[in-house]
């Protein structure tokens, strides 16, 4: 059944917030949990009903408008959780422009403040919302700061409001006293109002502020509701960051659908990946979105299932109708291995839903499967498709275009992905030339429709016209023989050459042709095991990486560097920042353990080694001792146990 417009008395609304008072008024929904927050160790939950969220949004809106005006910019620096959700919908109800970002540690050390300073400088907010304790730390920092005047001044010029104060004064808003019928006047965001600034991930360049209207966001989640067949009985489980993209849009999708969304933090998942499986099982989730790199992480570390209390919760995937896989490229082998492991626990292969999206389009663009019975997936060069062009909505158009000529390429030819959709954002804040270039692209000799240039490469293949997202335009490596290759192929081959020593998802390949090396470089993080490996072993790892890439991809690597944990930069969603990795490497800002340079004949030209400093913390868990490394990103720890035997 397709539930789009499932109730003739429940028409689609122009903005997402208008769905909330309708659900809150209905007897069957007012006491229904809209959002559930789960804390690990052992799992403890709290929740917000539709009625509570609607009242809280109205309360926060009223408080904000006492000292702010409609369309003011408000910086949201809340930790992930139910309070963050209340603030986001309160901002929309007030008609102010929210800028949610992950709050850096208020000590502002280790360069963790750069993005905050960038955001404040670019968006110029009048108000910042954070928890009271966080604000006290900021005030203490500002009072004692003497060496970073720019950040201190930027923070001092903001008017800080605590979440406790926003919700402290009870503003009674009884739904039965409000007429939502004819003549009702909604004072929140209009469809054409920019209500959200969400920053791009920073995967290919410094994060950019994307301007998203309330109407385009509503269209985006309605399109995804139709694609995933969402309905009021849907239950979502998500640990994705709530500040932008998929994590944020699933909050909106929940309200549009009248569903329930169970949330936990990214840190909870990283620390214990099994919590994701346990939440799916406990709440009988019908849908869960995960980045593609999460699947091998669960396969590697999902056996670490015991909570602090020593209990192990059973796993069941029977309820899952859509396991939405995001973050391109999506490797078929990884997905097939995941399905094979979890099929005995009820996972239906037809639930696998590789999908495509980007911040410039709200988030969602398309998915390749919609409740179809696929047991064997179509592939292209080891990849799964992320969209199916023949089944697209009439108002969403996806093209593959020659980047140089701006002409549509034939099926089977790789090119840049262009998108035209009502979900398209309006542009980048304070970047007029880049906005014109990215958001107003036109096909050669064709007037009229404008497209977003996604910066992603793709190819359309097969009778079903599947779209395969093959990589990023800016990341492509041009080889001396004139051929091109996407770096993720080299990174995968490099990791597979020594998976028990290298960190999965922490390998970066990039072109060094403009430097003294004039070759392709691979930088790989190593697992810290509390001991320094021998010189001979490290050399063998470097040589193994070169041999593997030559065998698998026929590409000779000119330089291999093994680096310490945390050296390879990643986005908050786990994407490798190859441009930044290259910059850090060339500026000698990486903690190199071993570096080897090769000539074209596979001979070692030079070797350089630095002592690896191991930093670790030890925590007791029952009678066992676990080693927890200080790190920035996600890694896959080696294990001799299989997930299937552990479940």
Residue 160's closest CA among 99, 240, 77? 77
DSSP-derived 3-state class of residue 288: strand
Decide if 593 contacts 564 (C-beta within 8 A). Answer: yes
The pLDDT score that the predictor gives to residue 517 is 55
DSSP-derived 3-state class of residue 235: strand
Residue 107 lies in a domain: no
Residue with the larger pLDDT of the pair 580 and 306? 580
Q: In CATH, what number is assigned to the domain containing residue 557? A: 3.30.300.30
Structural domain containing residue 531: 479-610
Q: What is the pLDDT of residues 421-451, one digit of tens each?
A: 999 999 999 999 999 999 999 999 887 789 9
485: left (phi over 0), alpha (psi -120 to 50) or beta: beta
DSSP-derived 3-state class of residue 619: strand
Lowest mean pLDDT among 101-110, 143-152, 200-209, 588-597: 143-152
The pLDDT score that the predictor gives to residue 374 is 53
For the segment 612-624, the average pLDDT, to the nearest whole number, is 35
Q: What is the pLDDT of residues 89-119, one digit of tens each?
A: 999 999 999 999 999 988 887 777 889 999 9
Residue 1, pLDDT > 50, answer: no
The pLDDT score that the predictor gives to residue 264 is 96
The pLDDT score that the predictor gives to residue 113 is 86
Q: Which DSSP helix (H) or strand (E) runs through 263?
A: strand 260-263
For the segment 554-580, the average pLDDT, to the nearest whole number, is 90
What's the gap between Cα 501 and its chain centre?
A: 26
Q: What angle in degrees, to the nearest 10, is found between the helix axes of 274-283 and 294-301? A: 100
92 contact partners, CB below 8 Å, separation of at least 6? 15, 16, 17, 57, 98, 188, 189, 195, 214
Which band of pLDDT confidence, cut at 50, 70 and 90, is reported for residue 375? low
For the segment 20-49, the average pLDDT, to the nearest whole number, is 92
Alpha helices in 68-169 (DSSP H): 82-94, 114-123, 132-144, 149-156, 163-168
For the segment 158-185, the average pLDDT, to the nearest whole number, is 62
Lowest mean pLDDT among 256-265, 305-314, 521-530: 305-314
SS3 content of the chain, % helix, strand, coil (to 5): 30, 25, 45
Residue 593 lies in a domain: yes
CA 115/CA 124 separation, integer angstroms: 14
Q: What is the pLDDT of residues 240-295, one digit of tens each?
A: 999 988 999 999 999 999 999 999 999 999 889 999 999 999 999 999 999 998 99
The pLDDT score that the predictor gives to residue 532 is 64
Decide if 141 contacts 103 (C-beta within 8 A). Answer: no
Which band of pLDDT confidence, cut at 50, 70 and 90, is reported for residue 636? very low
**Per-residue three-class SS string for 385-409:** CCEEHHHCCCCCEEEEECCCCCCEC
Q: What angle in degrees, to the nearest 10, is found between the helix axes of 245-257 and 82-94? A: 70
Residue 541 lies in a domain: yes
Number of domains the chain contains: 1
Residue with the larger pLDDT of the pair 621 and 468? 468
The pLDDT score that the predictor gives to residue 163 is 93
Could you tell me the CA-to-CA distances from 70 to 93, 190, 645 in Å, in that order? 10, 11, 56
Residue 325 lies in a domain: no
Residue 344 lies in a domain: no
The pLDDT score that the predictor gives to residue 533 is 74
The pLDDT score that the predictor gives to residue 512 is 86
Which band of pLDDT confidence, cut at 50, 70 and 90, is reported for residue 177? very low
Residue 595 lies in a domain: yes
Residue 161, pLDDT > 70, answer: yes
The pLDDT score that the predictor gives to residue 358 is 93
Residue 508 lies in a domain: yes
Residue 598 lies in a domain: yes
The pLDDT score that the predictor gives to residue 313 is 72
For the segment 595-600, the average pLDDT, to the nearest whole number, is 86
CA 32/CA 539 separation, integer angstroms: 59
217-254 as b/e, with b when 16 or more CB fall inside 10 Å? bbbbbbbbbebbbbbbebbbbbbbbbbbbbbbbbbbbb
Lowest mean pLDDT among 14-23, 69-78, 292-301, 390-399: 390-399
């Amino acid at each position: 059944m397709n539930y789009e417009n499932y109730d003739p008395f429940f028409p689609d609304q122009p903005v997402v917030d208008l769905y909330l008072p309708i659900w809150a008024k209905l007897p069957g929904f007012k006491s229904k949990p809209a959002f559930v927050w789960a804390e690990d160790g052992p799992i403890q939950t709290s929740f917000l009903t539709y009625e509570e969220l609607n009242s809280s949004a109205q309360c926060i809106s009223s408080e904000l408008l006492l000292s702010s005006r409609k369309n003011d910019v408000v910086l949201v620096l809340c930790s992930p959780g139910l309070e963050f959700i209340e603030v986001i919908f309160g901002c929309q109800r007030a008609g102010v422009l929210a800028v949610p970002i992950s709050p850096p540690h208020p000590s502002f050390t280790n360069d963790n403040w750069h993005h905050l300073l960038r955001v404040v400088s670019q968006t110029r907010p009048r108000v910042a919302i954070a928890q009271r304790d966080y604000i006290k730390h900021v005030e203490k920092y500002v009072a004692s700061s003497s060496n970073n005047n720019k950040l201190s001044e930027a923070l001092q010029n903001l008017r800080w409001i605590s979440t406790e104060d926003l919700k402290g004064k009870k503003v009674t808003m009884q739904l039965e006293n409000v007429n939502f019928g004819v003549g009702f006047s909604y004072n929140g965001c209009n469809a054409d109002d920019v209500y959200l600034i969400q920053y791009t991930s920073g995967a290919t360049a410094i994060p950019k502020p994307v301007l998203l209207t309330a109407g385009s966001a509503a269209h985006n989640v309605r399109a995804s509701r139709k694609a995933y067949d969402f309905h009021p009985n849907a239950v979502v489980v998500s640990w994705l960051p709530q500040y932008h993209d998929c994590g944020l849009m699933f909050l909106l999708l929940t309200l549009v659908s009248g569903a329930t969304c169970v949330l936990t933090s990214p840190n909870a998942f990283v620390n214990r990946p099994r919590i994701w499986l346990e939440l799916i099982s406990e709440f009988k989730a019908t849908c869960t979105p995960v980045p593609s790199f999460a699947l091998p992480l669960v396969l590697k570390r999902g056996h670490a299932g015991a909570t602090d209390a020593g209990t192990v919760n059973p796993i069941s995937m029977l309820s899952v109708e859509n396991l939405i896989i995001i973050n391109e490229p999506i490797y078929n082998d990884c997905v097939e291995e995941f399905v094979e492991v979890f099929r005995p626990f009820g996972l239906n292969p037809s639930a696998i839903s590789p999908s495509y999206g980007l911040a410039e389009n709200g988030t969602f663009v398309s998915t390749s499967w919609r409740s179809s019975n696929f047991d064997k997936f179509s592939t292209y060069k080891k990849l799964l498709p992320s969209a199916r062009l023949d089944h697209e909505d009439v108002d969403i158009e996806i093209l593959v275009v020659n980047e140089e000529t701006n002409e549509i390429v034939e099926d089977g030819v790789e090119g840049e992905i262009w998108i035209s959709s009502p979900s398209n954002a309006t542009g980048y804040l304070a970047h007029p030339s880049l906005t014109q270039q990215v958001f107003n692209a036109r096909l050669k000799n064709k007037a009229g429709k404008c497209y977003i240039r996604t910066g992603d490469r793709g190819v359309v293949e097969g009778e079903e016209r599947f779209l395969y997202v093959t990589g990023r335009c800016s990341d492509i490596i041009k080889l001396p023989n004139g051929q091109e290759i996407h770096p993720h192929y080299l990174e995968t081959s490099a990791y597979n050459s020594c998976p028990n020593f290298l960190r999965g998802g922490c390998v970066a390949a990039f072109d060094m042709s403009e430097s003294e090396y004039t070759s392709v470089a691979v930088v790989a993080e190593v697992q810290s095991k509390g001991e320094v490996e021998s010189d001979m072993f490290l050399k063998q790892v470097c040589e193994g990486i070169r041999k593997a890439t030559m065998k698998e991809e026929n590409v000779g690597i000119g330089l291999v560097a093994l680096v310490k944990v945390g050296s390879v930069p990643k986005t908050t969603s786990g994407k490798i920042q190859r441009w930044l990795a290259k910059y850090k490497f060339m500026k000698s800002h990486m903690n190199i353990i071993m570096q080897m340079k090769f000539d074209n004949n596979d001979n070692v030209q030079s070797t350089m080694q630095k002592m690896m400093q191991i930093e670790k913390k030890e925590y007791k868990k029952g009678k066992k001792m676990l080693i927890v490394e200080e790190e920035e990103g996600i890694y896959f720890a080696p294990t001799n146990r299989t997930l299937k035997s552990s479940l």
